[in-house]
Amino acid sequence: MMAMVAVILFFSCSNDMKNVIQVSELEKLPLLSGDSICFVQKEYGKIVLSITTPKILKRKAEGSDQEDVMEFPDGVVVVQYSSYPDTLSMISTNYAINYESQNVWEARGNVVAKNVQKQECLQTEFLIWDQKKGTISSNKKVQVTSPDDIIIGEGFVSDDQFTDWQVQKVTGVITFENENILEAEIEE
């Protein structure tokens, strides 16, 4: 009789564990997922922003029951338009996550930001775009290329249109004139 009670308890406990595991696995599933997505934001009927991605996942942020995040595990391209289709600026990356309630984007892996009109390009491995503040920044190594020079440093701050920017902790500057290198300073 005692053996039968132990067997019943064993099976009921193992069944509960299976249910717990299944429920915890369900909580990891995204709230929304999609492939080959293109979002377009309009103001007064004119396109001002487009977001293109091969894959998107909407889920709860880790450690948070409240905040939803949009994750772009296969990369994303964000384009701001001065007047569609004239591109003002763009950011592309291998991975991104958008903390929706904070209006903050985090980009990782081969991050490229461009100001098309000024022909300037930022390259880094990590970038934060704070839409509320209207800023983009990085605390990692960066390289900014313009028609006149290349600036290499660690850290970067800019407005989100990439028009007023500053490289921090500059470690190198290469200046060009008529496609010839005039000056090269690199600190080690």
Give the pLDDT confidence of 10-54 residue by residue, as tens digits: 555 555 655 555 545 555 665 678 889 999 999 999 999 999 999
Whether 6 maps to a domain, the answer reads no
Whether 1 maps to a domain, the answer reads no
Band of pLDDT at residue 130, cut at 50, 70 and 90: very high
Whether 9 maps to a domain, the answer reads no
Spatial distance between the Cα atoms of 105 and 19, rounded to a whole number of angstroms? 35
The CATH number covering residue 119 comes to: 2.60.450.10
In whole angstroms, what separates CA 61 from the centre of its chain? 15
Burial 60-82 (b: 16+ CB within 10 A, else e): ebeeeeeeebbbbeebbbbbbbe
Residue 90 sits in which domain range? 30-186
How distant, in Å, are the alpha carbons of 45, 57, 141, 156, 168 from that of 151? Answer: 39, 35, 11, 11, 10
Whether 8 maps to a domain, the answer reads no
Whether 70 maps to a domain, the answer reads yes
Asked if residue 146 has pLDDT above 60, the reply is yes
Whether 149 maps to a domain, the answer reads yes
How distant, in Å, are the alpha carbons of 64, 74, 161 from that of 51? Answer: 26, 13, 15
Asked if residue 153 has pLDDT above 90, the reply is yes
Band of pLDDT at residue 188, cut at 50, 70 and 90: very low
Q: Name which residue leads in pLDDT, 12 or 100.
A: 100
Spatial distance between the Cα atoms of 104 and 92, rounded to a whole number of angstroms? 15
User: What is the residue whose two structure tokens read 């991975």?
Assistant: 95
Q: Which of 183, 128, 117 is nearest to 150 (CA)?
A: 183
pLDDT of residue 27: 56
Whether 23 maps to a domain, the answer reads no
Q: Which of 56, 91, 95 is nearest to 77 (CA)?
A: 91
Asked if residue 110 has pLDDT above 60, the reply is yes
Q: How many CA atoms lie within 13 A of 64 on its CB side?
A: 11
Helix (H) or strand (E) holding 68: strand 68-72
Whether 22 maps to a domain, the answer reads no
Number of folded domains that form the chain: 1
Band of pLDDT at residue 64, cut at 50, 70 and 90: low
